[in-house]
Amino acid sequence: MQMSPEQLQMITSQLATLKEKSPFYAKKFADIDLSDIRTQEDFEKLPFTDKADLREAYPLGIAAVPPEKIVRIHSSSGTTGTPVIIPYTKKDVEDWAIQFARCYEYAGITPQDRIHITPGYGLWTAGIGFQLGAERLGAMAIPMGPGNTEKQLQMMEDLESTVLCATSSYALLLAEEIAKRGVRDRLKLRKGVIGSERWGHKMRARIANELGVELYDIYGLTEVYGPGIGINCKADSAMHIWSDYVYLEIINPETGELVPDGESGEIVLTTLQKEGAPLIRFRTHDLSRIVPEPCSCGHNEHPRIDIIFGRSDDMVKVKGVNMFPAQIEEIIKFTDGASSEYQVMIDHMEGKDILTVFFETDAIGEDLAAVEAQMAALFKAKMNITPNPRGVPIGDLPRSEKKTKRIFDNRY
Ligand code: ZN
């Protein structure tokens, strides 16, 4: 990915004072003279910043401003141990709102819209980001937070919500509930903005069909503002990433080397304007690829990435084969009669890895056996693995309001 002259300028001027402002980077880059960084090539030699580095700086060691400049903190959940705290200045909060409002605009959302926000409010960045953007745009924010389906549907109807913001699993849960109750005609929903979770094409199609809305994927992570640093436009499913706020790179997660544009790898982000907690070459562990073709919407100043197809730490090795959730989703997508929900169990018995794939289906009896056989054949053909496919009735697998865990490795 070619760094633009504006981005290079923003990066070099940031690096000029970085060590002075940030004790964290003064220590991390102690052996590097940052005034030597003058080109994209120089920049690409800088070491990565990882979540573990940020965790070590707990609670406020990452701050690059005096405490009186910090107006808010957020915290990324982190699956284990110490959380990461990210401080925001007034400008950071404003910049986040500007980016989020731009996301809504790219999705064709206007001040006339009523935005129903179901992601949670609190230490994490979800709900409040959706709200900031709505207010900045001038739309009506309906700050629901997650849970209480009954009340969600009531408010959606009474307040005539036109935009649903949710995680993909919660959007699916609501879509199913709306279908079950037959209340779709009483709702005014026209668009969905789905945040921060990898999801398959099949699930996307199900939510879009059941809700009868246009869906948009929004990208972001707490360490880099939160959701709202990019979204797909009307033209395509690839997401534009705001090049005036972040510089995007894609690396091979195993070697750390940059991959050519178009090839898959891990997203690495550098913030260009952030004051509270600037990040240089931050490894997101999200897997995607740069979509090099120009977008027909014409906004080619903002490069595009494909929908997120996994986490580099979600990769599991089964029977010696590297496997990503996206590959499993792809196989499920091509299995006739299999719905989008699935759960994978990996066990180790009698010296062998056993892969059991639970999926939802309407099929029973002989039809079910045929669906399972087709899925097994697809796994064999595409990944050279023979799994145990197990079809279960639609609705049997757990749905959750937060991110749904789908792969369970029971071997260790
Ligand atoms: Zn576009």
In angstroms, the CA 77 to CA 223 distance is: 11
Q: What is the model's pLDDT at position 169?
A: 84
pTM of model > 0.75: yes
pLDDT in tens, 91-115: 999 999 999 999 999 999 999 999 9
Span from the CA of 114 to the centroid of ligand 1 (angstroms):
24
Question: How many CB atoms within 10 Å of residue 43?
Answer: 20
Q: What is the model's pLDDT at position 78?
A: 58
Strand partners, 231: 218, 240
Span from the CA of 241 to the centroid of ligand 1 (angstroms):
10
| Among 58-72, 266-280, 370-384, the least confident range | 370-384
Span from the CA of 304 to the centroid of ligand 1 (angstroms):
8
CB of 64 within 8 A of CB of 277? yes
Q: What is the mean pLDDT of residues 159-163?
A: 98
Q: What is the model's pLDDT at position 197?
A: 65
Span from the CA of 52 to the centroid of ligand 1 (angstroms):
34
pLDDT in tens, 206-234: 899 989 999 999 999 999 999 999 999 99
Span from the CA of 233 to the centroid of ligand 1 (angstroms):
5
Q: What is the model's pLDDT at position 227?
A: 95
**pLDDT confidence band for 402 (50 / 70 / 90):** low
Q: What is the mean pLDDT of residues 330-343?
A: 91
184: Cβ–Cβ under 8 A, 6 or more apart, which residues? 178, 211, 212
Span from the CA of 290 to the centroid of ligand 1 (angstroms):
13
Span from the CA of 301 to the centroid of ligand 1 (angstroms):
10
Nearest to 106 by CA among 279, 382, 310, 297: 297
Q: What is the model's pLDDT at position 304?
A: 97
Q: Is the pLDDT of residue 126 over 60?
A: yes
Q: What is the mean pLDDT of residues 317-326?
A: 78
Q: Is the pLDDT of residue 200 over 90?
A: no
C-alpha separations of 7 from 10, 13, 44, 91, 272 in Å: 5, 10, 13, 19, 7
Do strands 191-195 and 214-221 pair parallel, antiparallel, or not at all (unpaired)?
Answer: parallel
Span from the CA of 405 to the centroid of ligand 1 (angstroms):
31
Take residue 144 and report the two structure tokens written for it: 């629901």
Residue 259 main-chain phi, psi, to 5 deg: -105, 155
Span from the CA of 237 to the centroid of ligand 1 (angstroms):
9
**pLDDT confidence band for 401 (50 / 70 / 90):** low
Span from the CA of 303 to the centroid of ligand 1 (angstroms):
9
Span from the CA of 137 to the centroid of ligand 1 (angstroms):
20
| Among 65-69, 94-98, 164-168, 279-283, the least confident range | 164-168
Span from the CA of 197 to the centroid of ligand 1 (angstroms):
21
> What is the Rg, in whole angstroms, of the alpha carbon atoms belonging to the chain?
22
Q: What is the mean pLDDT of residues 251-274?
A: 93
Span from the CA of 235 to the centroid of ligand 1 (angstroms):
5
Q: What is the model's pLDDT at position 79?
A: 55
CB of 131 within 8 A of CB of 137? no
Q: Is the pLDDT of residue 196 over 60?
A: no
Q: What residues does the ion ligand 1 have nearby, CB within 5 Å?
A: 233, 235, 295, 297
CB of 296 within 8 A of CB of 235? yes
Q: What is the mean pLDDT of residues 240-251?
A: 98
pLDDT in tens, 265-283: 999 999 999 999 999 999 9
CB of 134 within 8 A of CB of 141? yes
Cis peptide before 303 (omega within 30 of 0): no
Q: What percent of the chain stands above pLDDT 90? A: 75
Amino acid letter, residue 160: E
**pLDDT confidence band for 204 (50 / 70 / 90):** confident
Span from the CA of 284 to the centroid of ligand 1 (angstroms):
23
Span from the CA of 50 to the centroid of ligand 1 (angstroms):
30
**pLDDT confidence band for 309 (50 / 70 / 90):** confident
Report for 11-25, 303-317, 325-339, 378-392: range of highest mean pLDDT: 11-25
In angstroms, the CA 230 to CA 297 distance is: 15
Q: What percent of the chain stands above pLDDT 70? A: 96
Q: What is the model's pLDDT at position 339?
A: 92
Nearest to 176 by CA among 340, 388, 42, 366: 340
| Among 23-37, 317-331, 338-352, the least confident range | 317-331
Query: Angle at Cα 122 formed by Cα 121 and Cα 124, nearest 5°?
Result: 95
Span from the CA of 380 to the centroid of ligand 1 (angstroms):
37
CA end-to-end span of the chain: 39
Span from the CA of 126 to the centroid of ligand 1 (angstroms):
24
Span from the CA of 403 to the centroid of ligand 1 (angstroms):
27
Across all residues in the chain, what is the average pLDDT?
92
Span from the CA of 104 to the centroid of ligand 1 (angstroms):
13
